[in-house]
Structure 1
Amino acid sequence: MLGNYLIGLREGLEASLVVCILVAYLVKTGRRDALRPVWLGIAAACAISLGFGAALEFGSQELTFEAQEALGGSLSILAVGLVTWMVFWMRRTARHLKSELHGKLDAALQMGTGALVATALLAVGREGLETALFVWASVRASGEGSATPLVGVLLGLATAVVLGWLFYRGALRINLARFFTWTGAMLVVVAAGVLAYGVHDLQEARFLGGLSTKAFDISSAVPPDSWYGTLLKGVFNFQPDPTVLQLVVWVLYLGVTMAFFLAPRRDASARKPSPTAA
């Protein structure tokens, strides 16, 4: 549940910040007439995201077992790729997100109502589609068969909405760059587990080999149905009997991605040669 709460909080807060920036800019510039198209685009983005999640959940039920596993594994890997790109993108642009959105909104205001709807739709819709795909993949990986993962996501989204409202009202101020760095690092750990389960799905679909080659089996020490086994699985997508390929993929992804993500960033201006040096 904690892992899914983190997904809902992280993605929901990004969407909430986008909405706050768009609405606040229009209000402060006296363009309240443009709020209606923006809210229309936001509503359309939410509807598309919900429809996409429903299509993933109910559309896959009509497939054979092998087809379900192949689809689930492929989409899990795609979700991990999108989330990895997202956490690096937000780490790089968190400080400049406001000015970037203001520039897009200025251009949309000059083009008319349709451009405003499209700007809000694209800005929020990207977060919504990423959330729907990654939540679906994470729920498949957890394999709980209950509403607990969905409850975690909804609680995370609700928290994000409240935080977004507090940001808009000026009642809350935090270091967004630091916040997204910490949550991004935790999300990389969750993504590593989803990636390992995606590989396992492809092995069960007979797309990849090595299904019977186990790296280790500690099911007797950490029973999957125990409270701590359930906790580890829900938070980290832990599996007590992974295959060798799963373990290799998990270690490589987590090690390489975390190393690059936590590496100190260089200031772009510091890399530019000075006029004197030139």
Structure 2
Amino acid sequence: MLANFLIGLREGLEAALVVGILVAYLVKSGRRERLPQLWLGIGTAAAVSLGFGALLTFRPQGLTFAAQEAIGGTLSIVAVGLITWMIFWMGKTARFLKGNLQHKLDDAVDAGRWAVAVMALLAVGREGLETALFLWAGAQATGASTRPLLGAILGLAVAIVLGYLVYRGALRLNLKTFFSWTGVLLIVIAAGVLSYGVHDLQEAGILPGGNALAFDVSAQVPPSSWYGTLLKGVFNFSPATTWLQAAAWVLFAVPTLVLFVRTAFSRPRPTAPAAPAATPHAVAA
């Protein structure tokens, strides 16, 4: 539940900030007549995202066990790829988000009223589709259905409130710091989703080593215990983990965390002051 709350909070806040920036820019620039097209694009993006989530949840049930595991494992790995790209992209561009969106909105307004709807659809729809896919993959990894959904709804609700407060000027957020620290946590969560995806592909017979366990701590960490449930819900930890699952977790989490920390938390180097121009007397000397 906590992992899905974090996903809903981060992705929801990103979408809320996008909406707030677009609405505020149209209002402040005296182009309120474009607001209906903007809200149409935002509403369409929300509907498409919900439909995509429903499609993932209520997919055809007549498939064989191997086919279901193959689809689940493949989508989990795709979700990890998308969320990783999003984490790095936002870590680099959070401070420039406002300027980039305003520039794109200017181009859309110049192109026509319906271009505004398309621009809003693409800007918000990307966040919605990523959120739906990663939430679904996280729910599959934890093996639960109600708690992950509840955590995501709570995260989205908090994100909407925070986004509104930022829009009204009642709250200031350091976006770079927020997205950097949540990015670290999401990389750990994504590593667990990747490990679960590998497990699904092993169950489907696509990947080998389904019976070769790296460790089995089920006796020490029972899956039904409160701490076993907590580890499963937050980090997608499995007490019985195969060698391939463990290798996938380590090979993804360690280099990705190192690279992200170096990218997101690095401070820009101060530029050296320009040397003073030489005077005519100095040149003659």
TM-score range, shorter chain: over 0.9
* 1:268 shift after superposition: 8.6
1:150 alignment partner AA: L
Secondary structure of 1:62's counterpart equals: coil
Checking the alignment, whether the CA contact within 8 Å between 2:209 and 2:242 is kept in structure 1 is: yes
2:204 alignment partner AA: A
Structure 1 residue 210 corresponds to structure 2 residue 209: yes
Checking the alignment, whether the CA contact within 8 Å between 2:69 and 2:204 is kept in structure 1 is: yes
Q: Which residue in 2 is equivalent to 1:143?
A: 143
| Distance verdict in 2 for CA 1:268–1:64, change over 3 Å | farther
Structure 1 residue 19 corresponds to structure 2 residue 19: yes
Secondary structure of 1:172's counterpart equals: coil
1:134 alignment partner AA: F
Secondary structure of 2:85's counterpart equals: helix
Checking the alignment, whether the CA contact within 8 Å between 2:7 and 2:186 is kept in structure 1 is: yes
Q: Which residue in 2 is equivalent to 1:10?
A: 10
Structure 1 residue 164 corresponds to structure 2 residue 188: no
Checking the alignment, whether the CA contact within 8 Å between 2:166 and 2:173 is kept in structure 1 is: no
Gaps of 5+ in 2: 278-285
| Cα distance between partner residues in 2 of 1:53 and 1:6 | 18
Gaps of 5+ in 1: none
Secondary structure of 2:70's counterpart equals: helix
Q: Which residue in 2 is equivalent to 1:109?
A: 109
Structure 2 counterparts to residues 153-192 of structure 1, below 5 A: 153-192=152-191
1:265 alignment partner AA: S
* 1:62 shift after superposition: 3.0
Checking the alignment, whether the CA contact within 8 Å between 1:69 and 1:202 is kept in structure 2 is: yes
The TM-score, its normalising length taken from structure 1, stands at 0.95
* 1:266 shift after superposition: 6.4
| Cα distance between partner residues in 2 of 1:3 and 1:267 | 31
The TM-score, its normalising length taken from structure 2, stands at 0.93
Question: Once the two structures are aligned, what percentage of the paired residues are identical?
Answer: 62
1:197 alignment partner AA: Y
Q: Which residue in 1 is equivalent to 2:247?
A: 248
Q: Which residue in 2 is equivalent to 1:42?
A: 42
Checking the alignment, whether the CA contact within 8 Å between 1:189 and 1:254 is kept in structure 2 is: yes
* 1:265 shift after superposition: 3.4
Structure 2 counterparts to residues 61-100 of structure 1, below 5 A: 61-100=61-100
* 1:61 shift after superposition: 2.6
| Distance verdict in 2 for CA 1:266–1:99, change over 3 Å | same
Checking the alignment, whether the CA contact within 8 Å between 1:60 and 1:68 is kept in structure 2 is: no
* 1:269 shift after superposition: 8.7
1:86-135 per-position Cα deviation (integer Å, ceiling 9, x unaligned): 01000000000000000000000011121000000000000000000000
1:7-35 per-position Cα deviation (integer Å, ceiling 9, x unaligned): 00010000000000000000100111111
2:181 alignment partner AA: W
| Cα distance between partner residues in 2 of 1:87 and 1:204 | 29
Secondary structure of 2:209's counterpart equals: coil
* 1:267 shift after superposition: 3.7
1:106 alignment partner AA: D
Secondary structure of 2:141's counterpart equals: helix
Cα RMSD after superposing both structures: 1.7
Shifted more, 256-265 versus 96-105: the winner is: 256-265
1:173 alignment partner AA: R
Secondary structure of 1:171's counterpart equals: coil
Stretches of 4+ aligned residues off by more than 3 angstroms: 264-271
| Distance verdict in 2 for CA 1:269–1:23, change over 3 Å | farther
| Cα distance between partner residues in 2 of 1:62 and 1:268 | 58
| Cα distance between partner residues in 2 of 1:204 and 1:266 | 45
| Cα distance between partner residues in 1 of 2:25 and 2:270 | 28
Larger Rg: 2
Matched positions, count: 273
| Cα distance between partner residues in 2 of 1:107 and 1:118 | 12
1:111 alignment partner AA: A
| Cα distance between partner residues in 2 of 1:174 and 1:105 | 23
1:187 alignment partner AA: L
* 1:60 shift after superposition: 4.3
| Distance verdict in 2 for CA 1:60–1:88, change over 3 Å | farther
Checking the alignment, whether the CA contact within 8 Å between 2:108 and 2:116 is kept in structure 1 is: yes
2:182 alignment partner AA: T
| Cα distance between partner residues in 2 of 1:13 and 1:80 | 20
| Cα distance between partner residues in 2 of 1:65 and 1:31 | 54
Structure 1 residue 265 corresponds to structure 2 residue 256: no
